[in-house]
Homo-oligomer: A and B are copies of this chain.
Amino acid sequence: MMHPNDPSLRSFVTVDPRSDFPIQNLPYGVFSTASQPSPRIGVAIGEFVLDLAALASAGLLDVPGDVFAQGAINGFMALGLEAWSATRARISEVLRHDNPELRDDAALRARAIIPQRDVTLHLPLQVAGFTDFYSSKQHATNVGALFRDKADPLLPNWLHIPIGYNGRASTVVVSGTAIRRPHGQLKDLGDAGPRFAPSRRLDFELEIGVVIGQASELGERLSEAQAEAMIFGFVLLNDWSARDIQQWEYVPLGPFQGKAFATSISPWIVTREALEPFRVQGPAQEPAPLDYLAQRGANNYDLALQVDLRTPAMAAPATICATNFKYMYWSSVQQLMHHASSGCAMRVGDLLGSGTISGPGPRERGSLLEISSNGAEPLALPGGERRSFLEDGDSVSLRGWCERDGLRIGFGAVEGTVLPAK
Contact = CB atoms under 8 A, between A and B. Distances in A.
B182 A343 contact: yes
A254 B257 contact: no
Given A180-B219, A218-B173, A292-B196, A253 B345 contact: no
Looking at chain A's contact residues, is the secondary structure mostly helix, strand, loop, or mixed?
A: loop
Interface stretch (A37-45, A53-61, A241-249, A311-319): A241-249
A193 interface: yes
Nearest to A167: B166
A185 B161 contact: yes
A260 B185 contact: no
A82 to B, nearest CB: 24
Contacts of A195: 290
A134 interface: yes
A387 interface: no
A27 interface: no
A157 interface: yes
A278 interface: no
Contacts of A134: 253
Which of A254, A287, A347 has the most B CB atoms < 10 Å from its CB? A254
Given A196-B341, A252-B250, A221 B170 contact: no
A143 to B, nearest CB: 9
A194 interface: yes
B253 A165 contact: yes
A345 B171 contact: yes
A367 to B, nearest CB: 15
A181 to B, nearest CB: 9
A218 B261 CA distance: 7
A296 interface: no
A359 B207 CA distance: 43
Given A221-B183, A343-B180, A129 B255 contact: no
A229 interface: no
Interface in A90-148: 128-129, 134
Contacts of A129: 168-170
A226 interface: no
Contacts of A257: 338-339, 341-342, 344
Contact of A343 (B165, B253, B261, B291): B261
Given A128-B169, A168-B344, A258-B342, 18 more contacts: A128-B170, A134-B253, A157-B187, A157-B248, A163-B252, A164-B256, A169-B169, A170-B218, A170-B345, A180-B218, A183-B292, A184-B341, A196-B291, A242-B342, A253-B254, A254-B255, A257-B338, A260-B339
19 contacts: A128-B170, A129-B169, A134-B253, A160-B194, A164-B253, A164-B256, A165-B165, A165-B256, A170-B346, A170-B350, A180-B219, A185-B290, A218-B262, A219-B261, A219-B422, A245-B342, A254-B254, A254-B255, A262-B343
